[in-house]
Each structure stands twice: as structure tokens, then as C-alpha cells.
């Protein structure tokens, strides 16, 4: 079993592929309020799940974009659309994922996602 420093190392590696060494962009108010939370997230989300070899990163990125669009999480959606572009997923593919959200989460969810993505994808 991996030890925790492995989780952190692997998590930072995954985040670096998505967003470079900046690892996610400008500092959020939440990061000043609860810095330990973000260390846990890097370990668990990126080191514990994303770093597993059973699924390629392109597929993980598309699925993440799809879920964030369906759940209406626009801030994370913007960050992961930028990450998806960094992985080489095309603008047209990402627009298509956001459009298809209408089928499973309703038209307003897709409109909200397309509005959120407009700056990143234009």
C-alpha cells in the first residue's frame, strides 16, 4: 500500500499535468481559510483516484468535465476545462460534452455549463 507521501507526490504530478506548476490558478478565499483542506484534496482526489492506472487521463478529464457540468459546479468546471485543453482535448469536443449535458441533467444545466465555459473555450 502506498504511503501518504506517495499520495502527495502522485497527486502533485497529476495536478501538474492538468495545470502546470501553478496547480489550479489563482488563490481562492477557501485556500486561505483552510489550507489543509487543499493538501488533503491533492492527496485524495489526484493522488488516490486520478493517479490510478486503470483509466487514461483523457477519459478521466472528460468524465470530470461531464460531472461538473451536470452538477452545476461552475468554478471547478472552468478549471477542469482549462486542464482538459492542456491535456490536448479539443475545444470542439469539450463543447460537445457540455451540450450533451442537456440530455441527462436538463437544458438549463447545459446552458449554465456553456456560459461558464465560454471564456475558457472561445
Q: Indicate the SS3 state at residue 122.
A: coil
State which residue, 20 or 27, has the beta carbon closest to a copy of itself.
27
41 contact partners, CB below 8 Å, separation of at least 6: none
Report, in Å, the least distance between residue 20 CB and a copy of itself.
20
Give whichever of 20 and 31 is closer to a copy of itself, judged by the CB atom: 31
Contact between 39 and 8 under an 8 Å Cβ cutoff? The reply is: yes
Specify the residue, 21 or 92, whose C-beta has the smaller distance to a copy of itself.
92
Q: How far is the CB of 54 from a copy of itself (least distance, A)?
A: 4
Least distance CB 35 / a copy of itself (angstroms): 11
- How far apart CA 92 and CA 52 sit, in angstroms, is 27
CA nearest 120: which of 106, 107, 90? 90
Minimum CB distance to a copy of itself, residue 87 (Å): 13
Q: How far apart are CA 84 and CA 61, in angstroms?
A: 6
Nearer CB in complex with a copy of itself: 13/75 = 75
Amino acid at each position: 500500500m502506498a504511503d501518504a507521501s506517495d499520495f502527495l507526490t502522485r497527486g502533485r504530478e497529476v495536478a501538474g499535468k492538468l495545470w502546470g506548476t501553478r496547480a489550479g490558478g489563482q488563490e481562492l478565499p477557501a485556500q486561505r481559510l483552510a489550507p489543509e483542506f487543499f493538501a488533503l484534496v491533492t492527496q485524495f482526489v489526484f493522488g488516490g483516484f486520478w493517479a490510478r492506472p486503470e483509466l487514461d487521463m483523457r477519459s478521466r478529464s472528460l468524465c470530470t468535465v461531464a460531472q461538473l457540468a451536470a452538477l452545476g459546479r461552475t468554478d471547478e468546471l472552468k478549471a477542469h476545462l482549462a486542464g482538459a485543453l492542456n491535456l490536448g482535448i479539443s475545444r470542439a469536443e469539450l463543447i460537445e460534452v457540455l451540450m450533451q449535458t442537456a440530455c441527462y441533467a436538463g437544458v438549463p444545466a447545459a446552458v449554465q455549463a456553456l456560459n461558464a465555459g465560454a471564456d475558457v473555450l472561445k
